[in-house]
Chains A and B, each alone.
Chain A
Amino acid sequence: MMGGGMLFRVIALSLAALTIALPILGGPLAGSGIGISPYLANIIGQIATFALLAIALDLIWGFAGVLSLGHGLFFALGGYLIAMHMLKDGYVNAGVVPDLMTFMGWTELPGYWAFFESFPYAAVLILVLPGLLAFAYGWISFRSRVSGVSFAIITQALTYVAMLLMFRNDTGFGGNNGMTGFVSLLGMPMGAPSTAVWLATASTAAALGAFLLCGRLVRSPFGRMLIAVRDDEARLRFLGYDPVWPKLAAWTLSGVMAAIAGALYAPQVGIINPRLLSPEVSIEIAVWVALGGRGTLSGAVIGAVVISALKFWLTGFAPDLWPFILSLLVLIVVVGLPNGLTDLRLPKLKGARHGG
């Protein structure tokens, strides 16, 4: 129905193949002709977290019609939580004093860093905190019927507020320097080739899991209800459904998936700082989904992979060009391809959307 049944399978199989091949090509075969260097594995891993992030946004925007320009908030939250775990673990178990303590002249970490040396504790928080934040924010907004542009602007503003907060040095989250100098994760030393491969594999596996889960969801009756919310929320209400609930469920799940993406991203780049909370980052996520094609999941993955691969390649020799290229891509989508790249492939879907 949503087009791309075939494309969906191709992407699922590609992600599955990557998940299986990465440990082999990046492990025993790393030095051979077909091997993958730790550098390449790291890039693949980062792009996989972007794909996961795009899937999260597509669920709520492409299907339920709720545009978030603040998914960087959930992404950064996941990143900060895993960074806190890695710093605390390094401090407690390896005696490495976090930079933020040295910088602030603290002899001990603030109280809310308690228990962060435990991975299970951090992992639970990575799921629960963003979930609670998304739920609370969604509950207030959706119940007050804040939607459309107003909702998008408020998500952006909220993310901006979080950025200003995180830029402060005295909050105990590293201020504008953020957090870096991670020692290890789950016993694997940061910077080791095997860790890069492992993290990349975990990222492609997470992207695959989210892709399959969301694929199942949107094809279920629940997914039809989300599409109904997108197409005509008032009609759904007059059929006796309160749209707050399906929206809230999708929004919360989306926030949690974005946080998981962030928790996989931070260890791979070795740093987390408030710049992830800047408006550009959140807007770029929406651009991935818009360029790939909203409401298809496959489009979100393609958009995230194509744009971020392009960005990695370009920033190698012409980083200043990137904002212009990104703006150009946005213009192309807005003017010529309202349904993103899927317009090139599926004229019949366009008919279904705009007919009548």
Chain B
Amino acid sequence: MAAEMRGAHAIQVEGLRVTFGDFVAIPNLTFTASYGEIHGVIGPNGAGKTTLLDVITGKTRPKEGTVLLDGKIDLRRLSEPQIALAGVGRKFQKPSVFEALSVRENLELALRLRAGSILSELRGWTDPRRAARVAEVLGETGLTDRADAPAGILAHGQKQWLEIGMLLMQRPKLLMLDEPVAGMTDSETSHTADLVRRLRAPDRAILVIEHDMAFVEEIATRVTVLHEGTPIFAGAMADARTDARVRDVYLGRH
């Protein structure tokens, strides 16, 4: 299965137009991300990066365009929870975890074994697969020794990892990280880079939105540079740095 998926489009956005009143956030965007890749989306503030994520997760409803997951699931027809269940995981810019719950409880809540109904999910809470998967993800995120601490007392970086761990519980087809290293120390950033690289899988596309160019260069296999809602470059990060238009609109401003 994994081999078939390699190279296929995890997410395919075509002719997307998003407006907020008179303001055109995204005039006409076509964008794809493939299975197996870590795709960086960069661009200056207001380039439409977060808007793109909002459209994919169903938070913002576009005027025009198609948004297909896995080449066939029309995300514009689904509600936010349905999109999540279809295999789209999103990490918010600000760490968003359930602060009064323990790290373990946060992860338990993120696993959907019986996606059809909340009630049957609750009934199957003690399913051994849940505990097993939680233990796995605790290991992957390096939070095993914090498992029973309330998420609210974790350090900033640990909260971000916990949130990434919650997304991992879902085994998403498309994992989207919105500025995952904002506000992190250098060592936290490098741990996060390790973590994101380990999340890479043949049956998963990872979308990373970032300002931190060095971080994107370190992890991304491909980048798209957005400018005023329009992609002006797609390819390798090294090429992006030398691209004249990119330098013009983005790098030149730094």
Q: Is there contact, CB below 8 Å, between B153 and A222?
A: no
Chain A residues positioned under 8 Å from B84 (CB to CB): 237-240
Distance in angstroms between the alpha carbons of A231 and B170 in the assembled complex: 20
Identify the closest chain B residue to A231 (Cβ).
Answer: B98
For A221, the chain B residues whose CB sits under 8 A away are: 108-109, 122, 125
CB-CB under 8 A from B159, the residues of chain A are 356
Binary per-residue interface labels of chain A (338-355) against chain B in the complex, 1 for a CB within 8 Å, 0 otherwise: 000000000000011111
Q: Give the residues from 234 to 275 in chain A that come closer than 8 angstroms, CB to CB, to chain B.
A: 234-242, 245-246
Contact B92 A351 (CB under 8 A): no
Interface range on chain B (Cβ under 8 Å from partner): 35 or more
Verify if A168 is at the interface (C-beta below 8 Å from B).
no
Given A221-B122, A356-B159; A239-B102 close (CB under 8 Å): no
Check A228 against B109 for contact (C-beta < 8 Å).
yes
Chain B window 58-91, contacts with chain A (Cβ cutoff 8 Å), 1 for yes, 0 for no: 0000000000000000000001111011000110
Stretch at the interface among B41-49, B110-118, B207-215, B220-228: B110-118
B residues in contact with A246, CB < 8 Å: 118
B80 — which chain A residues lie within 8 A by C-beta?
237-238
Complex contact B118–A242 (CB within 8 A): yes
Q: Are B96 and A240 in contact (CB under 8 A)?
A: no
A311 within 8 A of B: no
Assess whether B152 is interfacial by the CB under 8 Å rule: yes
- Chain A residues in 8 Å Cβ range of B109: 221, 224-225, 228, 236, 239
List of B residues within 8 angstroms of A236 by Cβ: 98, 109
Partner of B99, one of A220, A241, A242, A356: A356
Out of A227, A228, A242, A355, name the residue touching B81 (CB < 8 Å): A242
A239 near B100 with CB under 8 A, answer no
Distance, CA A240 to CA B117, complexed state (A): 10
Instruction: Tell me which of B79, B96, B100, B166 contacts A230 (CB under 8 A).
Output: B100
Q: Is there contact, CB below 8 Å, between A234 and B96?
A: yes
Name, among B89, B99, B121, B153, the residue most crowded by chain A CB atoms within 10 Å (CB to CB).
B99
Query: Is residue A108 within 8 Å, beta carbon to beta carbon, of the partner chain?
Result: no
CB within 8 Å of A: which B176-212 residues: none
Residue B132 at the chain A interface, CB threshold 8 Å: no
Contacts A221-B122, A240-B170 hold; do A356 and B154 have CB atoms under 8 A apart? yes
Q: Does A124 contact B (CB under 8 A)?
A: no
Residue of B nearest to A232 (CB): B96
Q: Does B27 contact A (CB under 8 A)?
A: no
**A353 B100 Cβ-Cβ under 8 A:** yes
- Nearest chain-A residue to B86 (Cβ)? A240
Q: How long is the Cα–Cα vector from A17 to B150 in the complex, in angstroms?
A: 34
Instruction: Tell me the minimal C-beta distance from B153 to chain A in angstroms.
Output: 4
Q: Does B5 belong to the interface (CB within 8 Å)?
A: no
> Cβ of A238: which chain B residues have Cβ within 8 Å of it?
57, 80-81, 84, 89-90
Complex contact A356–B152 (CB within 8 A):
yes
Taking the closest CB of chain B, its distance from the CB of A197, in whole angstroms, is 40
Contact with A along B132-169 (1 / 0, CB 8 A): 00000000000000000010111110010001001000
Q: A227 and B118 in contact (CB under 8 A), knowing A238-B84, A356-B159? A: no
Say whether B98 contacts A240, CB under 8 Å.
Answer: no
B100 pairs with A231, CB closer than 8 A:
yes
Q: Is A1 an interface residue (CB 8 A)?
A: yes
Closest to A237 in B: B80
How far in angstroms is the closest Cβ of chain B from A342? 13
Tell me the B residues contacting A by CB distance below 8 Å. Answer: 57, 79-82, 84-85, 89-90, 92, 96-102, 105, 108-110, 112, 115, 118, 121-122, 125, 150, 152-156, 159, 163, 166, 170
4 tightest A-B CB contacts, nearest first: A240-B84, A355-B153, A240-B85, A352-B150
